[in-house]
Amino acid sequence: MPRGPKGERRPADVIGNAVKVMRIATGEDPEDYGPTPADQGKDPNAGALGRKGGEARAKNLTKKRRSEISKNAARLRWAARTRGT
């Protein structure tokens, strides 16, 4: 069974999906989005700290170093493509 954007189960056929959406809209079925990161024991503030760290790193990198990183990444991507991976 396919999963929706938040990992919820949805019917594979069009009519079944339409019925499911109608039932959710009328309140017959709950919107089953699955577990949230907090439910899984993850700290919600960790993502915010990670974004701050990424911004700080980007601010501290010189243009030359950013260029080196991007060239290395492109080289690895092309190497993987030529190997057939």
- Tell whether 37 is covered by a domain: no
In whole angstroms, give the CA distance from residue 51 to residue 43: 14
Please check whether residue 33 lies inside any domain of the structure: no
CA 22 to chain centre: 27
Which residue has 């017959």 as its token pair? 28
In a domain, 20, yes or no: no
Asked if residue 55 is part of any domain, the answer here is yes
What pLDDT shows up at residue 71? Answer: 97
Q: Report if residue 69 sits inside a domain.
A: yes
- Is the separation of the CB atoms in 6 and 34 below 8 Å? yes
Q: What's the whole-model pTM score?
A: 0.40
Domain hosting 75: range is 44-83
pLDDT surpasses 90 at 83: no
CA dihedral of 77, 78, 82, 83, whole degrees rounded to 10: -30
